[in-house]
Amino acid sequence: MKLDKYVNVIMIINIASVVHPSAPSVTVTNPLVDETQVTTLATCSSSGFRPGTIDVTWLLEGGPTELMTDSTTVTALKDSKFAVTSEYRRVVSKTDNGKTLTCTLNHETLNAPIPRTAALNISCNQTSFCYF
């Protein structure tokens, strides 16, 4: 009698949950005009995503802008998710008051990038010659 051999195949499927970043929040600081010093004008943050690679871009008045320093930090959270914080820093002048600053997040789990916009609020101290 011939015995047939049966092969049992066990399939293990790892289902990775897709976790999107939360909508970014943009906090605008109220810096004093100082046309000689790099100042933090705004902070953009988001959390609850994985994997930990995320792109943060800044636009000023809808166009590309140069950051004076790269200040984007991704942090691992306790629940295997990640958070990102990015600061928009550059020299500020009185002409920046009221301009629109946009932070945009792009992550592989998103169908489209998520933008958040805020208006800059530049302050003057008594020694500044600032006339808006």
pTM of the model: 0.74
Can you tell me the mean pLDDT for 15-38? Answer: 72
Residue of 14 and 51 predicted with greater confidence:
51
Distance CA 71, CA 50 (A): 20
Average pLDDT, the chain: 78
Tell me if 55 sits within 8 A of 86, measured CB to CB: no
65-99 pLDDT per residue, tens: 766 666 899 999 988 999 999 998 888 888 888 89
Q: What is the pLDDT of residue 86?
A: 92
Sign of CA dihedral 37, 94, 84, 112: negative
Q: What is the pLDDT of residue 14?
A: 41
Number of helices and strands (H, E) in the chain?
Answer: 0, 8
Structure tokens at 23: 């909508």
Q: Quick count: other Cβ atoms within 10 Å of Cβ 26?
A: 18
Is residue 1 helix, strand or coil?
Answer: coil
Distance CA 23, CA 114 (A): 7
Q: What is the pLDDT of residue 125?
A: 64
Residue of 66 and 118 predicted with greater confidence:
118
